[in-house]
Structure formats: C-alpha cells, structure tokens
C-alpha cells in the first residue's frame, strides 16, 4: 500500500486533491487486481503519486494558503490527514497530530475519523472477496535470525549451506553479510504465505527496525505478491516495546494476529494466535534461556507438512470458513475474535477426546 496523491499535475489555482480518496482507491486496488496486474498497477500508481508529491512541493506557500481559504468557504475542514504537516483536503498547515503511518509514507498522518472511514471501506472491499486481515510477526514466527559472530562452532557448517540472495524463492537459509546476519526461514513458510494470502490481506509487524523488516520481506516475498507496502516495524509503533492494531488499516473485528509473544499485544489478545517459537539457531535458545540444543546443532528442522506453520494454517482455514459459512452477504456484525474463541474451544475439546481415546490430536 503506497500513499500519496494519485491526482494529475495541477496548477496552483485548482483545488487540492483529497489524498484519503486515493488511499481508499489503493486499498481497493490491492485487493481486486490479479497478482501480475497488481504489480504493474502498483508501479504506475507510485510513479504518478511521486509526480504529484513533487508538484505539491512546487506549489508554494501562497498557493497552499489560497487552497485553505477556498476550502474554508465550504465549511470548516475536518483535516482528515496531512502530508508533511499540510492537510491533504484543504491544504492548510497543521500541527503534528493524528497517527503516523510511516510504513506507507514517512510524512503521512491520519486522524481517527479518517482511519475509521478507511477501515470500514477496506473491510467491505475485502469481505466481498471473502478475505480478512492477518498480521504476521517475523522473528521466531516465520523465521529465525542470528548475528554471524554468535554462531557456535558446531554451526559453522551452515555457512556452506546458504542459498543465493539472487534467487531467494528456492532457498531457506541465507547469509546477509552486509547486515552481519544469517536468516533461516521456517519450514512450510512459502506454502503458508501462498495459501494464507488467498484468505487474508497480509501484514508484517515486527519489533525489528525498518531496514531489517524490509530485508526479511524480500526473503519471504521477493515478488511482492503478499505484503506490498504493508510492512510495519518498531519504528511505526505508537507505544515503545508494544504492538498495536492502531497502525493497521483493518477493522479489529476482522483481524487475526500470529505472533510468538503475547505480552507485546496487551490490547489485542482476543485477536492473537500464539505460535510456538522457532529456535533454529543456538543463540535463539540462549536468548530465551533454553537448555536444550537448537535445531541447527541437532542438524534437524521442523516438518514441512506436519510442522507448526502447517498446523496454524489449518486453524486459519477453519476460522475463515466459519466466518464466511453463511455467505458474504451475511458477514455484517460478525467478529473474527468470537469465531477464533469458538475454534479454540473445538481444538481443546479435540485434545481432550484424543487423550481419552488414545488417538493423536489432529491439530
């Protein structure tokens, strides 16, 4: 999701275009276009939007003031949001208010009314396509990363088993020497993302910094098929050391979260699926004070078809199926949090029945 205005170049005497309308257009285009068409359209939109931003910069302060005066003639502007502290509805200069959506553009801020409007619009668009939102953590959820200097002697063999960064789609272990890191993708992650993207609009949300988030996204989604610009890092969080859905443009009632850490989501535990941590490297076990050997030390790994991500995918499919079981027209008022609670109860009941009968739990 990219955000700036999609309007053509305009003169200083024309009205200022409403950037929010183009954010909404982009939300819809992200969902409705096919993958190949979406990449072409995304490139076209971003080029046009960059041209517009440059043009806005050229208008000058006098033109901006005249735009604000023209807008005030139609009633007081509610200032839905701003670009570089300039209201993108009336053109007036604003103090730094609202929520920053730095992962979309580091100069974009939106007020709560506009965020709510965009979330409502996005929910309608997604649900028409039988989709919900899924926010994905990175470390210990989809992958595991270690600093190269933290590799143990018994892990040195990994350096000769890394895959090329030129073709990441076929590999799972990568040496990122320019970042002094090695990253291992969790088994089944490619299949997981492909299948999940058919049911959900996907976000990345990591406590890592922006540079790290972008690099991991390149490993997971080299063709930008799944995440687009929906890559959120700790730099975008509104509260230090916490994650929140306040920077996600999805209705809370239609958002699921997959993360290995519950404590970073204090306000959204009902949306959260807590996943078993992926400890591939020895340093990861040490960080969490685990005494057992890591998967790399054991020269082993999780199962592709029966591992953790495959198990979680089944839960996601079941939740998605229950949400849409009455048809798209009957989703109004439904809350994915209630459905997830129902799925949890069914899984727990299945576990108890399995223990009593001696049959392995299907989850």
Per-residue confidence (pLDDT) for residue 352, from 0 to 100: 53
Exposed / middle / buried, residue 204 (Cβ in 10 Å: 0-12, 13-18, 19+): buried
Most confident of 24-28, 47-51, 131-135: 131-135
Q: Higher-confidence residue: 252 or 53?
A: 252
- Phi–psi pair at 16, nearest 5 degrees: -75, 130
Task: Sketch out the chain's domains with CATH numbers.
Answer: 19-126 (no CATH), 130-352 (3.40.50.1000)
Q: What ranges in 11-34 are assigned the alpha helix state H?
A: 19-32
Distance CA 87, CA 280 (A): 48
Contacts of 180 (CB under 8 A, 6+ apart): 147, 148, 149
C-alpha dihedral (245, 246, 251, 254), degrees to nearest 10: 0
Q: How many CB atoms lie within 10 A of CB 147?
A: 12
Q: Stretch 335-359: mean pLDDT, rounded? A: 76
Exposed / middle / buried, residue 11 (Cβ in 10 Å: 0-12, 13-18, 19+): exposed
Per-residue confidence (pLDDT) for residue 94, from 0 to 100: 84
pLDDT > 50? residue 276:
yes
* Predicted TM-score of the model (pTM): 0.78
Per-residue confidence (pLDDT) for residue 73, from 0 to 100: 46
């Amino acid at each position: 999701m990219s955000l700036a205005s999609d309007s053509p170049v305009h003169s200083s005497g024309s009205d200022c275009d409403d950037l929010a309308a183009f954010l909404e257009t982009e939300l819809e285009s992200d969902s409705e276009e096919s993958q190949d068409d979406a990449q072409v359209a995304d490139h076209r939109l971003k080029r046009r939007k960059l041209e517009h931003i440059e043009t806005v910069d050229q208008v000058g302060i006098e033109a901006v003031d005249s735009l604000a005066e023209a807008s005030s003639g139609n009633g007081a502007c509610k200032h839905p949001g701003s670009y570089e502290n300039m209201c993108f509805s009336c053109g007036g200069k604003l103090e730094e208010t609202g929520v920053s959506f730095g992962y979309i553009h580091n100069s974009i801020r939106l007020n709560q009314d506009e965020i709510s409007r965009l979330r409502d619009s996005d929910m309608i668009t997604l649900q028409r396509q039988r989709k919900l939102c899924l926010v994905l953590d990175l470390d210990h959820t989809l992958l595991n990363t270690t600093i190269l200097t933290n590799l143990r002697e018994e892990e040195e063999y990994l350096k000769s088993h890394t895959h090329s960064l030129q073709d990441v789609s076929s590999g799972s272990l990568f040496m990122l020497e320019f970042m002094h890191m090695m990253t291992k993708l969790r088994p089944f992650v490619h299949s997981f993302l492909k299948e999940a993207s058919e049911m959900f609009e996907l976000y990345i949300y990591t406590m890592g910094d922006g540079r790290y988030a972008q690099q991991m996204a390149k490993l997971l989604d080299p063709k930008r098929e799944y995440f687009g610009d929906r890559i959120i890092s700790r730099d975008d969080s509104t509260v230090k050391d916490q994650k929140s859905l306040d920077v996600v443009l999805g209705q809370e009632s239609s958002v699921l979260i997959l993360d290995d850490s519950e404590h970073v989501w204090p306000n959204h535990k009902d949306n959260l699926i807590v996943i078993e941590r992926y400890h591939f490297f020895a340093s990861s076990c040490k960080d969490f004070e685990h005494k057992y050997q890591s998967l790399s030390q054991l020269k082993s790994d999780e199962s592709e078809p029966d591992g953790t991500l495959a198990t979680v995918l089944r839960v996601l499919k079941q939740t998605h199926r229950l949400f849409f079981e009455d048809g798209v027209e009957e989703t109004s008022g439904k809350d994915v949090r209630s459905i997830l609670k129902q799925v949890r109860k069914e899984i727990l009941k299945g576990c108890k029945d399995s223990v009593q009968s001696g049959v392995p739990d299907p989850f």
